Amino acid sequence: MADTAEAGALYAWLSALRAAGELPAVAEIVPAARTVLLDGAEDVPALTALLTAWRPAAGTGPQGPLVEVPAVYDGADLAEVAALWGVSPEAAVRIHTEPLYRVAFCGFAPGFGYLTGLPERYEVPRRATPRTAVPAGSVALAGPWTGVYPRSSPGGWQLLGRTALTLWDTGREPAALLAPGVRVRFTAVRPG
């Protein structure tokens, strides 16, 4: 795909086709940064023809559900990220809460969504040394992506803050709050 947005549009289209019962043999549809993986295709020539004929729709494309993520912006790397951006920590919070994000894909851990939406000029590197334990709910940045750690795990992303939301719950449908296609807005809240 040309970019993450196009991969997201193709994923949404394929998911709708499968929901309508049109891709019975496909066990998995896995979006990623620039690709969509179909696992379990039965009639490969027909599927190839279908995919070749596909064009991204003009305009905004399919709209996933909107999730608001209230976050306390007191992350260990907030000052460093603000310095990389050449702004104050307060301005960095405004920059991060401004965009409407979209979950491009999941990976790294169940329910860990890679969110796209932050303007390219705000890309930041991963930390040189990953932390051995990043707390669950940490709102973080790396490269072009924003993510929220669904549970405590090692991690190399820059930590901006934290949310009290439960990102991953296997008793919920879907288990991932930030599933591919979901649109996300971060809001800054006071600790408490």
**Footprint of another protein on this chain (CB under 8 A)?**
11, 27-37, 39, 105-112, 114, 170, 174-176, 179-180
For the chain, give the secondary structure using H, E and C: CCCHHHHHHHHHHHHHHHHCCCCCCCCEEEECCCCEEEECCCCHHHHHHHHHHCCCCCCCCCCCCEEEEEEECCCCCHHHHHHHHCCCHHHHHHHHHCCCEEEEEECCCCCCEEEECCCHHHCECCCCCCEEEECCCEEEEEECEEEECCCCEEECCEEEEECCCCCECCCCCCCECCCCCCEEEEEECCCC
User: By C-beta, is 12 or 93 nearer to another protein?
Assistant: 12
User: By C-beta, is 52 or 59 nearer to another protein?
Assistant: 52
- Please report how close the Cβ of residue 106 comes to another protein at its closest, in angstroms: 4
User: By C-beta, is 111 or 137 nearer to another protein?
Assistant: 111
- Please report how close the Cβ of residue 25 comes to another protein at its closest, in angstroms: 12
User: By C-beta, is 159 or 182 nearer to another protein?
Assistant: 182
Q: Determine if residue 75 is left, alpha or beta; phi over 0 gives left, psi from -120 to 50 gives alpha, anything else beta.
A: beta
- Please report how close the Cβ of residue 190 comes to another protein at its closest, in angstroms: 31
- Pairing mode of beta strands 183-188, 66-71: parallel
- Please report how close the Cβ of residue 139 comes to another protein at its closest, in angstroms: 17
User: By C-beta, is 75 or 144 nearer to another protein?
Assistant: 144
- Please report how close the Cβ of residue 94 comes to another protein at its closest, in angstroms: 29
